[in-house]
Amino acid sequence: MPRALKKVSGFRGFGVSGLISRELSQPRHHATAQLKIESYPDLPGFIRALAALIRPAYDLLALQAKAKNLLSPRLLLSAHGLPQKNIAAGDPYAAQCGQSAAAVAQALNIPGLDWALCYQSRVGPLDWIRPYADDEILRAGAENRPLLIAPLAFTAENSETLYEINQLYRELAAKSGVPLFACGPCVNAHPLFIEGLAGLVRKAGAG
């Protein structure tokens, strides 16, 4: 993976006189509060890109479920967790994740869509924001419901999507009785997402 400092130092050779940067995680939390581009929980390009990636995966899973006379799939939109004490102290992260999740569900335009927002990757003894992703997987298994998990606050593939969701959660789903399980991709370099980011950069540069 390219190192930020190395990449930035290389910009000088291109005559770059200014730089706008922002981590790709879309919700805002206190660690990103000083960034010029703070957050984009309902950015149309982000929402439309994620919906465009989720929809074919959902439709395929729904067809498979119908062929097996199963319940319609549940969509889990999964974000990285955060200690509950951070939220109690006023961090807007959970609210913005909820905003994004609701926007994606609306953009999918699937009648009667069963969906939920959940959080993953918790560590340590602290209470983290809920519902936990693994609890939602157990719930789906108890209901014998097909499950599609799509990354929400992860915009690029990483260990928490490729390993935690695609491997660990897939194994948990199989052990928990989830009859069908699928994973959606991150937005990565989807053209709609990149177009949306470009708009944010232009706006920040003009400010």
Q: Which domains, ranges and CATH numbers included, belong to the chain?
A: 47-183 (3.40.50.1400)
Taking 90 as the threshold, does the pLDDT of residue 12 lie above it?
Answer: no
Question: Comparing 185 with 26, which gets the higher pLDDT?
Answer: 185
Nearest to 122 by CA among 113, 110, 130: 130
The whole-chain average pLDDT of the chain stands at 90
Q: For 91-129, how does the pLDDT look when each residue is reduced to its tens digit (9 = 90+)? A: 999 999 999 999 999 999 999 999 999 999 999 999 999
pLDDT value, residue 140: 99
Decide if 104 contacts 47 (C-beta within 8 A). yes
E-state strands within 92-190: 114-120, 147-151, 181-183
Nearest to 136 by CA among 115, 153, 157: 115
Confidence of residue 178 (pLDDT cuts 50, 70, 90): very high
Question: Comparing 19 with 70, which gets the higher pLDDT?
Answer: 70
pLDDT value, residue 94: 97
Taking 80 as the threshold, does the pLDDT of residue 13 lie above it?
Answer: no
